[in-house]
Amino acid sequence: MSHRDLESFTETHFSWEGAERRVFEAGEGPGVIVMTEVPGITPAVARFARRVVDEGFFVAMPDLFGEAGRRPSVPYSLRTMAKACISREFRVFGTGGRSPITDWCRALARDVHARRGGPGVGAVGMCLTGNFALSMMLDPCMIAPVLSQPSLPAGPGRARRADLHISPEELVQVTRRAREAQQPVLAMRFTHDILCPRARFAALEREFGDLAETIEIDSGPGNPHKNPRWAHSVLTEHLVDEAGHPTRQALERVLSFLHERLDG
């Protein structure tokens, strides 16, 4: 809890149907739910949330797993993922459905919208939570969904690689609403990210058509920006915060997307 970006947030709690979790809040303006990647609310995740606050948004950052403020490491990340795998709140390997914890996240989004007002709220999911912003579109208040390196379901197999971590019935609801309201979805990944395969983005583009805006950053051998082949976290750990770098451009697109959807 010593990192300055996390200390700038107010620690609150949100309860829904008997489940209570910590939520770190800061800022003014329309609401954005920032959902952490594995292994938790790291300093880099907190820095991203602070960037969203600095853009004039109210951020609610739920503490979904891990230790808030702790720096990442391979053993820490593996332990966090192992706990998620056995948790009833996450469907890490299952296809054709979403994680039960997304219901709690949807309730948080409704609460933030009720408190902050405006046309709706945004959500940024990353890695383990990357697909959550998609299922949160089941609620009309979710009008700015961002999927950064959506990594569920995990594991081998063609079905898992193309799965969007939402049931077929709910996907029909979400895509119908997207078409009727001209509701876009923004998603991003590194091209050689084995945790977020190309097939998943192909499925997103197939289901949403031109309403799916996808950003794919070259991480192949010899790429001009020297992104490592194992690059995964577009907005946090593998962000190169330099003008003209594709990860910086992706960050800037996320912020402009939030403004386009929420400022009105």
The tens digit of pLDDT for each residue in 75-125 reads 999 899 898 888 889 989 888 999 999 999 999 999 999 999 999 999 999
3: confidence class by pLDDT, cuts 50, 70, 90? low
Residue 229 sits in a domain whose CATH number is 3.40.50.1820
Query: Which is more confidently placed, 1 or 142?
Result: 142
Contact 191, 157 (CB under 8 A): no
Total domain count for the chain? Answer: 1
How many angstroms separate the CA atoms of 191 and 189, rounded? 6
- State how beta strands 19-26 and 10-16 pair: antiparallel
How many angstroms separate the CA atoms of 80 and 86, rounded? 10
**In degrees rounded to 5, what are phi and psi of residue 87?**
-80, 140
pTM for the predicted model, two decimal places: 0.95
* Domain encompassing residue 177: 4-262
5: confidence class by pLDDT, cuts 50, 70, 90? low
- The residue to which tokens 């998609």 are assigned: 134
